[in-house]
Structure 1
Amino acid sequence: MGTQYRAAEKSGDRASARRPSRNREAGQSQNAHQRRGKKKFSVRKRILLIVFAAVAITVILLLSPIFSISEIRISAVSLYSSEELLSSFDGLKGKNGFLSLLQSTSFSDLDDLFRLRFGSKEESLLFDYPLIKNIVVRYDLPDTIVVEIEERTPVMVTESDGMYLHIDSEGYLLGTYTQADQLDMPVIRGIRISDYKIGTSVAGGKDRATDDAIKICSTMKQLSMLSYIDIIDVSDYNEIWMYCAPSLSIKFGSADDIGRKLSYIKGIIDSGYDGNSNGTLDLSAGGNPVFKNNESAQEAPETPQAPETAQ
């Protein structure tokens, strides 16, 4: 009995000894957990403070007077006056560039924001000034708006009521001029444009002869040969004629295969068959062009050497 009592007493002593140890371990674990929680909170707090400070500094900088728009820089233009275009930006002068950009950018055009582009302003200017073909309006830090303009350029001229109408490659009427103001490009005969308005298009299926003339002259511009031809007669769109002063006639035929025919003409004129050739160059048959000299009508017609690129 005594032995059992002593064994139980020793067992109780060991259990009592283990309890403080376990309590200490639990306390240490709890303290470590609290320290980790405080550390995580401290890191989050620092991150939030840094983000808040960055946002605050950014807002202060963006609202700073240094970003107020003070200059509008417009590229050189000829169809409109710079003063007229500058007046379109009066509402932006003195305003903060970033805020103006935000206000003019819709949710669907957020890419304009990252490119610092005033997309809505570009659209309104294209509508208000139809002689502008392309335009870029961008914010140039810190205080400038840069306006880059590509104007429409004429590719042909036609006469109406004693005035010469300049028309671009999309059929837009760019202006009316006297004969003295003619540019170095073909005069189109055989089309009639009435009730015209500058800044509107005369193309688009209203008249086949007009559309054919625009296609021909647009291709000539691409080939850098607008100055090669003086007159294009599209009175009969199946039998188009071209003339180079003073004495070269070109029987172009229909407006089919325009690029190949014009490449032939360019190569042939470059090789020496110019306006002084006194003859007719016939491309209407669809094969190789044939040149017939007016002074040797009884002789066999010549076949000019065509450039390889025209095949």
Structure 2
Amino acid sequence: MSDRIAQRDGTRKRLKKARRKQLLIRLGTAVGVVALLIALALIFQVRTIHITGNSFLTKEEILQYIEKQGGADNSLILLARTKFGSFPVPDTAESIQFTMKNPWTIQVKVTEKTPIGYVESDGKYVYFDEEGYVLGILEELREDVTKIEGLDVKKASKGKKLSVKDDAVFGYLVQVIDLLERKELASDRILCDGENITLYFGEICVELGSGNPEEKIAQLPTILPMLEGQKGTLHLEHFGDSTDTISFEKK
């Protein structure tokens, strides 16, 4: 009888010892996990964000955008969200790439949308894309962008679409600018008057009117050199549609 009691007590002691050991292991694991999380939070705490490629978006706007999307405090969380989660791109950008320079430094490369033109207003330049959305309102003039006149930009704001009667005008402008680039022609400015388009090359005004501009612009590489040094208006608004006649009205 006493042997059974002793055996039972021994079994209880072994069970208690095993449970205590398991508890200590679990407690140690939990402490280790917490310590690891704290270490990761401290080591991968974002202290510096380097931003490149932005001209329309300011550094402050990009930082606010990152903070709004979450993960701005921890580089691991930020990179995980950008690679595997949902991280929408701002309206004025094509893409944003994030890389880790070191655990506490993030490199942000911004690829912004390309403006098709700008409108000058109150000493500032309103740049817009091929769909008419405002990419930025800057005080600096970018020489590689075409000047557009005739569009209302009084209520223009970044990320919003310019107010026009017909959105097709933006597609028409894109077509005209693309055709000019193909012909290696540089227009000083483009006047957009409703459906009608007018090009300016120095003292020469070229009336394209409306409709398909391809045939009309195709005539310019031949005609413009012949008009060098003169002033006036080249009428192409009806060329190709109702007539093959091109007239030049001297100023």
Structure 2 SS opposite 1:228: coil
Structure 2 SS opposite 1:215: helix
Q: Which position in structure 2 is the counterpart of 1:241?
A: 198
Deviation at 1:186, TM superposition (A): 3.0
Deviation at 1:181, TM superposition (A): 4.4
Of the candidates 71, 74, 77, which is equivalent to residue 95 of structure 1?
74
Q: Which position in structure 1 is the counterpart of 2:161?
A: 201
Q: Which position in structure 2 is the counterpart of 1:251?
A: 207
Distance 2:173 2:141 in 1: 19
Bigger relative contact order, structure 1 or 2 (CA pairs below 8 A, ≥6 apart): 2
- Give CA deviations for 1:204-236 in whole Å, capped at 9, x if unaligned: xx412x641x22332344456397223433335
Which one has the largest radius of gyration?
Answer: 1
Query: 2:98 is matched by which residue type in structure 1?
Result: R
Residues 273 and 155 (structure 1), Cα distance of their counterparts in 2 relative to 1, 3 Å cut:
farther
Contact conserved, 2:99 with 2:108, CA < 8 A, in 1?
Answer: no
Deviation at 1:196, TM superposition (A): 3.0
| Identical columns (%) | 20
Contact conserved, 1:63 with 1:96, CA < 8 A, in 2?
Answer: no
Query: 1:272 is matched by which residue type in structure 2?
Result: P
Contact conserved, 2:128 with 2:135, CA < 8 A, in 1?
Answer: yes
Distance 1:182 1:76 in 2: 15
Q: Which position in structure 2 is the counterpart of 1:138?
A: 98
Q: Which position in structure 1 is the counterpart of 2:188?
A: 230
Query: 2:158 is matched by which residue type in structure 1?
Result: I
Mapping 1:273-284, distance limit 5 Å: 276=229, 278=231, 280-282=234-236, 284=238
Q: Which position in structure 2 is the counterpart of 1:24?
A: none
TM-score by length of 2: 0.58
Structure 2 portions without partners, runs of 5+: 1-35
Deviation at 1:140, TM superposition (A): 4.1
Contact conserved, 1:135 with 1:147, CA < 8 A, in 2?
Answer: no
Distance 1:172 1:194 in 2: 14
Distance 1:197 1:224 in 2: 28
Residues 220 and 149 (structure 1), Cα distance of their counterparts in 2 relative to 1, 3 Å cut:
farther
Q: Which position in structure 1 is the counterpart of 2:58?
A: 81
Which one has a larger percent strand, Structure 1 or Structure 2?
2
Contact conserved, 2:113 with 2:135, CA < 8 A, in 1?
Answer: yes
Q: Which position in structure 1 is the counterpart of 2:117?
A: 156
Residues 283 and 224 (structure 1), Cα distance of their counterparts in 2 relative to 1, 3 Å cut:
closer
Structure 1 portions without partners, runs of 5+: 1-58, 106-111, 114-118, 296-311
Q: Does residue 216 of structure 1 match 2:172?
A: yes
Residues 292 and 261 (structure 1), Cα distance of their counterparts in 2 relative to 1, 3 Å cut:
same
Distance 2:109 2:62 in 1: 12
Residues 75 and 163 (structure 1), Cα distance of their counterparts in 2 relative to 1, 3 Å cut:
closer
Q: Which position in structure 2 is the counterpart of 1:116?
A: none
Residues 80 and 101 (structure 1), Cα distance of their counterparts in 2 relative to 1, 3 Å cut:
closer
Q: CA RMSD in A?
A: 4.4
Q: Which position in structure 1 is the counterpart of 2:133?
A: 172
Structure 2 SS opposite 1:165: strand
Deviation at 1:262, TM superposition (A): 6.6
Residues 262 and 133 (structure 1), Cα distance of their counterparts in 2 relative to 1, 3 Å cut:
farther
Of the candidates 136, 146, 154, which is equivalent to residue 185 of structure 1?
146
Q: Which position in structure 1 is the counterpart of 2:32?
A: none
Residues 151 and 274 (structure 1), Cα distance of their counterparts in 2 relative to 1, 3 Å cut:
farther
